Amino acid sequence: MPKKHNNLWLPYTQMKNVFSPVKAVKTKGSLIYLDNNKSLIDGISSWWTACHGYNHPHMIKKINYQLKRMPHIMFGGIIHDQAETLAHRISKLLPKGLNKVFFSDSGSVSIEVALKIAIQYWINNKEPQKNKFLFFRNAYHGDTSGAMSICDPEEGMHNLFKNYLSNHIMAELPTDSNKEESFNNLVNKYKNKLAGIIVEPLIQCAGGMIVHKPKVLEKISTLSKKNDIPLIFDEIATGFGRTGSMFAFEQTKTIPDIICLGKALTGGTISLAATISSEKIYKSFLNDDESYALMHGPTYMANPLACSAANASLDLFESQPRLKQVKKIENYLSKNLQECLNFKRVTNVSIKGAMGSIHIKNLTSEEIKWFKQRFINKGIWIRPFGNIIYTTPPFIINKKQLQLIVNSMIDCLKEWSSISKF
Ligand SMILES: *Cc1c(COP(=O)(O)O)cnc(C)c1O
């Protein structure tokens, strides 16, 4: 009998042999319930989205209300309360002047929109030769073509497509004086061609959970301001409390010209993303000539259900001690994950807010499979990738659950280091 799931094609998955997927039937709090009557503690918040845990009653109530009233309406020429309110609330959270919100359906698309805004900004300013972007090694900005072209070609999961993508300029993050010099040189060399500089503030996530200091971001910002190059922050992963402040850049003395938000924007319920531009950039699009208008418009743009979810999520950030919970998680991870450094192949343990990562030398896909299964056996949902085993739990996770996650990580490492084949 062919199984129903034979028609599915999963992300980043070799479908040939290993197709015995975990099947979820419901969720609640930090738990994912499976069809075999077992449950898993979600150690990664469904790809860093479910910051309030699952099925939060306030989220459900608000989404339900919107579902009955108006699940969707096209955004071309029609606006609605949920979008207006959300755009207003997002701009209130951001520094003054960063206040023009363009909605889209996913993080990758919000990046595409940021790139198009920067390109068209220069076209509108009669400098169309400025059409290259500077990005950083280990960057990950999404899976669509424009986004792929500004990901690290090796670490960004898109090596196969390099001959198809347009070429941009990769720099090293200026983490020491040598790298700073080469970054400065690159900017000087290309400044007349650069439409923008794009960076993930304070931690490069899918490119390997690599943390950098506020100073690094400040150097990038200083140089971009000096040369009048729009600075784009990708806070799709870091936004909404994950690093300990509402947005990661708040821990630095920098302000972007464009910022992309996604993932936890709707508290892990419905896909929605946003690209927010400065007043200055936005103004270059205002003209009696229609061709100055931004040429982008996703069909489900600003979907009212998704916007209501995002509004409900922001309610919870206002009413609940989310940033304190992140701090508690950070403290716990800092105290308890460090001992992993004692394992031979562990090269680094990095903690930033509610994100804890164990970096392992030459982790093979065989080993990744082994770890995944071991974690499931222990009742934990954790999904190692590249060279890392990491956790990004829901902010509402309780102490006991967090303990279980961390202990499982340590126990699995112990077990793994005692097995000769590894
Ligand atoms: C996840 C992610 C994206 C892409 O978002 P999608 O919603 O998966 O398209 C882009 N940038 C960063 C930093 C991300 O973490």
Quick check: 227 pLDDT over 60?
yes
pLDDT of residue 394: 98
* 120 pocket-lining for ligand 1 (C-beta < 6 Å): no
pLDDT of residue 422: 58
| DSSP secondary structure string for all residues of 283-348 | HTT--SSGGGS-----TTTT-HHHHHHHHHHHHHHHHS-HHHHHHHHHHHHHHHHGGGGGSTTEEE
Residue 359 — very low, low, confident or very high, per pLDDT cuts 50/70/90?
very high
Q: Whose CA is nearest to atom 8 of ligand 1?
A: 107
Quick check: 413 pLDDT over 90?
yes
- Span from the CA of 198 to the centroid of ligand 1 (angstroms): 13
Integer Cα distance of 312 and 277 in angstroms? 23
Quick check: 157 pLDDT over 80?
no
Integer Cα distance of 63 and 81 in angstroms? 14
Q: What is the CA radius of gyration of the chain?
A: 22
- Span from the CA of 408 to the centroid of ligand 1 (angstroms): 27
Quick check: 1 pLDDT over 90?
no
pLDDT of residue 159: 80
Q: Which 3-state string (H, E, C) describes 193-233? A: CEEEEEECCCEECCCCCEECCHHHHHHHHHHHHHCCCCEEE
pLDDT of residue 154: 82
* 255 pocket-lining for ligand 1 (C-beta < 6 Å): no
* 304 pocket-lining for ligand 1 (C-beta < 6 Å): no
- Span from the CA of 136 to the centroid of ligand 1 (angstroms): 16
* 101 pocket-lining for ligand 1 (C-beta < 6 Å): no
pLDDT of residue 18: 62
The catalytic residues are 12, 140, 234, 263
- Span from the CA of 108 to the centroid of ligand 1 (angstroms): 6
Residue 24 — very low, low, confident or very high, per pLDDT cuts 50/70/90?
very high
pLDDT of residue 19: 62
Torsion of CA 103, 260, 324, 340, to 10 degrees: 130
**Mean pLDDT in residue range 180-204:** 98
Integer Cα distance of 116 and 422 in angstroms? 46
* 206 pocket-lining for ligand 1 (C-beta < 6 Å): yes
Kindly report the pTM of this predicted structure.
Answer: 0.97
Q: What is the mean pLDDT of the chain?
A: 95
